[in-house]
Amino acid sequence: MTVKLIASDMDDTLLNSNTKISERNAAAIHKAIAKGIVFMIATGRMYVSVKPYADALGLDVPLVTYNGALVKGSKSGKVYYEHPLKLDTALELLAYCKEKGYYIQSYQGDELWVKEETVFSAEYERISGIKAKPVGEKLYHPEVAPYKLLAMTKPEEFQKVWQDIQQKFAGKVTVTSSRDNFLELMEPGVNKWNAVKAVAASYGIRPEEVMCIGDSNNDLSMIENAGIGVAVANAKPAVQAAAELVTASNDEDGVAEVIERFTL
Neighbours of 153 (CB within 10 A): 18
The Cα–Cα gap between 197 and 193 comes to 6
Question: 9 catalytic, yes or no?
Answer: yes
C-alpha distances in angstroms, 114 versus 88, 102, 119, 120?
19, 12, 12, 10
C-alpha dihedral, 177 to 180 to 182 to 183, nearest 10°: 40
The Cα–Cα gap between 232 and 234 comes to 5
Neighbours of 21 (CB within 10 A): 18
- Give Dmax over CA atoms of the chain in angstroms: 53
DSSP code of residue 208: G
Contact 107, 150 (CB under 8 A): yes
Task: Report, as residue numbers or ranges, the catalytic residues.
Answer: 9
